[in-house]
Structure 1
Amino acid sequence: MSHAPISRRQTLRVLAGLAATPWLLRHGRALAGVDYPFTLGVASGDPTSDGFVIWTRLATLPLYPGNEQRLPATVPLAWEVAEDPGFRRPVRRGQSSALRLNGHAVHVELNGLRPGREYWYRFIALGETSASGRAMTLPPATASPDSLHLVAASCAHWERGYFSAYRHMAEERPDLVLLLGDYIYEYSLPSDSADRVRRYGAPEATDLAGYRYRYALHHSDPDLQALHAVAPCLATWDDHEVQDDYSGPFSKDPALARRAFLQRRAAAYQAFLENLPLRRPARDSNGAPRIYRRLRYGDLASIPILDGRQYRSRQPCYVAPHFGKGHVEAASCADLRDPRRTLLGFEQERWLYDGLRRADSRWQLIAQDLLVAPLRVPPAEAGGEARYWTDNWDGFQAARERLLENLQHSRVANPVVLSGDYHSFWANHLHRVAEDPDSPRVAVELVGTSITSNGPSYEAIQKVLPANPQVRFYDSRQRGYLSLRLQRQALDVRMQAISDRADPHASVATLRRFAVADGDPSLHDA
């Protein structure tokens, strides 16, 4: 069996990109003869020193909710792993099944491979062979690697632009890809939206079929396929994988019954786990998936990957007209500083802080979904109150103080927080007392902008930056990603901005560059 010819593959990608158009949703069976099953590409993730996860999901064109019914309930599938991209030196082969029960997604958890090296993998099903992907095992825990190259991204709304940023991330050929949330968006833009570039072509996702469809559509994109095929990813979620601004078991819609929302959330979590190359997660006491975990890259870096949504307390300041939505709230709201409230959940907090106390890596890269640094909106008039956005760590200020306290008291080496969500680039100093720039610095925070999603008002936030000296840099006008090159003595940070999200051939340039030196939690221009 051989690879599909390039011309055919390109044709399939074009067709996949069209799959969300209303015409194709109404007349999709016109393409029923297209039976190539690997239209969604391949991916790898969650590497260890002796293995990684390889993933694919079988789907024939066209894509539409419930399309898995067009394939048999069980599809036999083979996979192989080799030491070379031509598969002349295979090291593993095996059999699996793509089940309709799982949306025809396949996860193969490999182990027993050699540490610290590249491998290539591919799948075979229904007489066809997938594109190949490149994965890597991590160095042994006792090794002392000289460097680590990562790229980090978040917030990819299909309708607001093309995924050119993913293509440029792939062209860097990183060692690891960090996906920090909002991999899909659950809602669609109004039909008259002026900035809509392409269409989801479906109503808001609220059930398993709806979420599966959106992941399929994203995976049909050639730029996202290129990124997943070039390096293993580490993924966490934010809110749009379920519902905008949800918080733990609480919907942003107060009229939605708790039971109904938990059913929706369970469907969304299932779709996330099906469609990203994660290991099978442990389950907590309530049966929910535990996706927070830790990766070790020799003695160079430890990477805790956090879950900032599943275990949160209810949105703070739960009053009309906002109720469960994120909003700007006055400092007098007692919820903001209530120590009984948590963003990570107390069990995840203990796990994180115990890990920090035991950590012996040179660098700690804490991957999570939300802005940690405070953003204080000063009073508009004398005698007024400062205000804060409630949906990020500013809405859980006592929890943030616990985080900052543990970063200081653990004496962990070189903590760097990597964040998503805010659709803008940020470079921040994190102080022991969050809003006191004279208190000791305990970490730096780097926030990547969105892949496509709209940023907050550049002018509005620039106006409040004088009251927030912890913010070294901010820009919401660009779309793109973070490129990070970690060495033993320094971290090099490049904020990579694409030229135009509406251009599928957008170029990329470095907007700003920073350096962080070993032993100094400070950002320096590079």
Structure 2
Amino acid sequence: MSALARALSRRTLLGGVVAAPVVLRFGLAQAGGFLFPLGVASGDPSPDGFVLWTRLAVDPVASDGLGGLGGPVEVRWEVGADENFKTLAASGQVLATSASAHSLHVEVSGLRPGRPYWYRFIAQGQMSPAGRTLTAPAPQARAESLRMVVASCSNWESGYFSAYGHMADEAPDLSLFLGDYIYEYTRGPERAADVVRPYGLEEATTLAGYRNRYALHRTDPHLQRLHAAAPCLAIWDDHEVHDDYSGIWTKTPGVAPTDFLRRRAAGYQAFYESMPIRRARLDGGLETPIHRRVRYGRLAEFFMLDGRQHRSRQPCSTGETGGKGQIVTDAACNDRTDPSRTFLGFQQERWLYDGLARSEAAWTILGQNLVMAGLRFGDGGPETRYWTDTWDGFPAARDRLTQALATLKPNNPVVLSGDYHSFWTNDVKLDARDPASTTVATEFVGTSITSTGPSYQGLMSAMPNNPHIKFFDSRVRGYMSIDITPKVMTTRYQQISDVRDPAASLSTLNRWTVEAGRPGAEAA
């Protein structure tokens, strides 16, 4: 039995009409007849272009991580000014090689701002599916609207990706992926009851392992449809490498930073190979900068942040390793409040503050991985506890950021976050220790695509001591849909009916608005 067949359970194959295109493509791939089983994608739009992505494969999860291909393959790419490609706006030839697992990143430029384009790839007489993408408006253009959809935390084993299909149906201008696009681990026999469709793969620790996780996800028809519908901005969280890692430190006992760096580098390379982002190569220190600033006319400016790679070790870790993110009190963890500790890394902090000082757009959007506003477990006294893997483990770094927002005063800052497998609507306070302090930003946290949420009752019991949290719900899966105009931002929390149903239905849990000039969200 091939590696691909092992990765697909009988339940997956019999998953209904929605899964049928995947099965058909798998059959063609195994027969060596289809080079584009992973679809196409675009991302990082600019006023004159974008990045186009695909990865060639004939056996997407071949054990060596190379998709069943060996030597180089010449590929033609085309950008059409119309969906029928009657007029080509740009085209060219590129070489897909095994060094990057036959993935392609075509950085297109020279196009007109603020309009749609269509694209496709051609190789060995075969044509990829066509995708639709958009250039960003010109920097000083008065864009009147922007619709974006926001996702995080898609565990293949936890359910079907029907939420991605509904995101595509929203006809967004932009999609945001805020981390945990894959999960590195596989559930063991003790959690077999939680598995909807098995990964069928060992835990990813090597480049081949990470490549195959992304490849398997990209066979999902819902995810393919979303990527083909609009350009995206993507960042990572922890599961693209290892749960709860912090900088160069892992939570695994006995693993030194020098050893963990090699695993992290493999995860970062696979992320780059699998995402439509601009060139982001590993440097000599095995780092891959992915934080970036993207302008959408005069309407919005995105600061996409990296909250994993550059940060300090988890607070109160012991020995060489980074320890596991945990719930602690300050009495048990003195270094939680150490001002020398950083969440973003000091270089990224300076880059962010410089950008905030120069930002001119109507809305300033921070896309990042973990809850920023904070959550206090307890009554607010000396025994108050904090979850240290989030910004609560780095309060001095958060204070620097909130002070920057208050001092630099970028227009209408909004924080978009993932990770916690739940919906939150938060006021980000100048001083997170004082609920009465000034609100400097609004935070919307999106629930997971499939991953199981934390205890609803357990976290709700803490809400009376967290008045800055206006809404919380961990019982549903789905995504955020956000519409922006110069005057108002409207956020819908979209929930799917059942992650075990590949054709799950969609409903709106609730809506929130933020008016320009008035920080803080209101229920609509």
TM range (shorter): over 0.9
- Cα 1:269–1:485 shift into 2, 3 Å: same
- Mapped partners of 1:348, 1:420: distance in 2: 20
Q: 1:112 to 1:323 in 2, by over 3 A?
A: closer
Aligned-partner residue type, residue 314 of structure 1: R
Please name the residue that 1:196 is paired with: 195
State the shift of 1:319 in Å: 4.5
Change (3 A) 1:497 1:219: same
Measured in 2, the distance between the counterparts of 1:34 and 1:499 equals: 37
1:204-238, CA deviations, whole angstroms, 9 ceiling, x for partnerless residues? 00000000000000000000000000000000000
Q: CA deviation at 1:143?
A: 0.6
Match of 2:22 among 13, 16, 28: 13
Among residues 74, 77, 80, which one is paired with 1:76 in the alignment? 74
Secondary structure of the corresponding residue to residue 272 of structure 2: helix
* Residue number in structure 1 paired with 2:339: 339
Pairing 1:78-117 to 2, within 5 Å after superposition: 78-117=76-115
CA RMSD across the alignment: 1.9
Distance 1:379 1:140 in 2: 50
For the 8 Å contact 2:313–2:322, the answer to whether it is kept is no
Aligned to 1:290, what secondary structure does the other structure show?
coil
Specify the code of the residue in structure 2 equivalent to 1:437.
Answer: P
Aligned to 2:288: 289
Whether the 8 Å CA contact 1:69–1:100 is kept in 2: the answer is no
SS of residue matched to 2:489: strand
AA in 2 matched with 1:367: G
- Which AA in structure 2 matches 1:157? N
**Local SS of the residue matching 1:273:** helix
Report the secondary structure of 1:70's partner residue: coil
Cα distance in 2, alignment partners of residues 319 and 287 from structure 1: 24
Structure 1 464/506 Cα, relative in aligned 2: closer, same or farther at 3 Å? same
Q: Partners of 1:453 and 1:32 in 2: how far apart?
A: 30
- Tell me what 2:476 maps to: 478
* 1:162 alignment partner in structure 2: 160
Check 1:376–1:62 CA distance in 2 against 1; reply closer, same or farther (3 A cut).
closer
Contact 1:152 1:180 in 2 (8 A): yes
Cα distance in 2, alignment partners of residues 257 and 109 from structure 1 = 37
The answer to whether the aligner puts 1:377 opposite 2:377 as a matched pair is yes
Residue aligning to 1:206: 205
Describe the SS at the equivalent of 1:483.
strand
Q: Is the 8 A contact 1:312 1:343 kept in 2?
A: yes
CA distance in 2, matches of 1:237, 1:409: 29
The offset of 1:172, in angstroms, is: 0.5
Kept in 2: contact 1:59–1:67 (CA 8 A): no
Q: Determine the structure 1 residue equivalent to 2:365.
A: 365
Provide the C-alpha distance between the structure 2 equivalents of 1:263 and 1:465, rounded to a whole number of angstroms. 41
Q: Which residue of 2 aligns with 1:302?
A: 301
Q: Give me the whole-angstrom Cα distance separating, in 2, the residues matched to 1:503 and 1:259.
A: 43
Cα shift at 1:72: 3.0
Residue number in structure 2 paired with 1:328: 327
Post-superposition CA distance 1:154-200 (Å, at most 9, x none)? 00000000000100000011011000000000000113421210011
Q: CA 1:12–1:485 in structure 2 vs 1: closer, same or farther (change >3 Å)?
A: closer
The residue number in structure 1 matching 2:13 is: none
Tell me the equivalent position of 1:276.
Answer: 275
Corresponding residue SS for 1:510: strand
The question of 1:183 aligning with 2:181 is answered yes
C-alpha separation in 1, matches of 2:108 and 2:504: 36
Q: Once structures 1 and 2 are overlaid, which stretch shifts more, 282-291 or 348-357?
A: 282-291
CA apart distance, 1:254: 2.8
The superposition leaves residues 450-491 of structure 1 with CA deviations (integer Å, 9 ceiling, x where unpaired) of 000011100000000000000000000000000000000000
TM alignment of 1:237-248, pairs within 5 A:
237-248=236-247
Residue 223 of structure 1 corresponds to 222
CA shift digits 1:76-135 (9 cap, x unpaired)? 111101011111111112101111110110110000001100000000112210000001
Aligned-pair CA distance for 1:414: 0.2
Letter in 1 for 2:292: R
**Structure 2 residues not aligned, in runs of 5+:** 1-17
Shift of 1:31: 7.0
CA, structure 1 residues 516+174, in 2 after alignment: closer, same or farther (shift >3 Å)? same
- For the 8 Å contact 2:29–2:35, the answer to whether it is kept is no
1:350–1:379: structure 2 CA closer, same or farther, 3 Å change rule?
same
* Alpha-carbon distance between aligned partners in 1 of 2:253 and 2:52, rounded to the nearest angstrom: 40
8 Å CA contact retained: 2:29, 2:58:
no
Indicate the SS of the match to 1:68: coil
Within 1, Cα distance between the matches of 2:178 and 2:140?
A: 28
How far is the alpha carbon of 1:360 from its aligned partner? 1.0
Distance in structure 2 (CA, Å) of the matches to 1:35 and 1:62: 13
When residues 58 and 378 of structure 1 are mapped into structure 2, their CA distance, relative to the original with a 3 A threshold, is same
Query: Could you tell me which amino acid in structure 2 is paired with residue 35 of structure 1?
Result: G
Report the Cα offset of residue 67 of structure 1: 5.0
Other structure's SS at 1:434 match: coil
Q: Per the alignment, in what secondary structure is the counterpart of residue 369 of structure 1?
A: coil
User: Matched residue of 1:289: which SS?
Assistant: coil
Match of 2:400 in 1: 402
CA distance in 2, matches of 1:500, 1:31: 30
Correspondence for 2:44 among 43, 46, 53: 46
User: Aligned residues, how many?
Assistant: 504
TM-score (norm: length of structure 2): 0.93
| 8 A Cα contact 1:49 1:140, kept in partner | yes
Q: Any unmatched runs of 5+ in structure 1?
A: 1-8, 20-29
Q: Is the 8 A contact 1:49 1:138 kept in 2?
A: yes
Q: Report what 1:448 is aligned to.
A: 446
Q: Choose 58-67 or 250-259, whichever is displaced more.
A: 58-67
Task: Provide the TM-score with structure 1 as the length reference.
Answer: 0.93
- Look up the SS of the partner of 2:437 in the other structure: coil
Alignment of 1:127-146 (within 5 A): 127-146=125-144
Which residue identity lines up with residue 258 of structure 1 in the other structure? P
Distance of aligned partners of 1:11 and 1:481 in 2 relative to their CA distance in 1, 3 Å threshold: closer
CA shift for structure 1 position 324: 1.1
State the Cα distance separating 1:56 from its structure 2 match: 0.2
In structure 2, distance between residues paired with 1:77 and 1:66: 22
Specify the code of the residue in structure 1 equivalent to 2:112. R
Partner AA of 2:353 in structure 1: Y
Native 8 Å contact 1:16 1:63 kept in 2: no
Percent identity over the alignment? 53
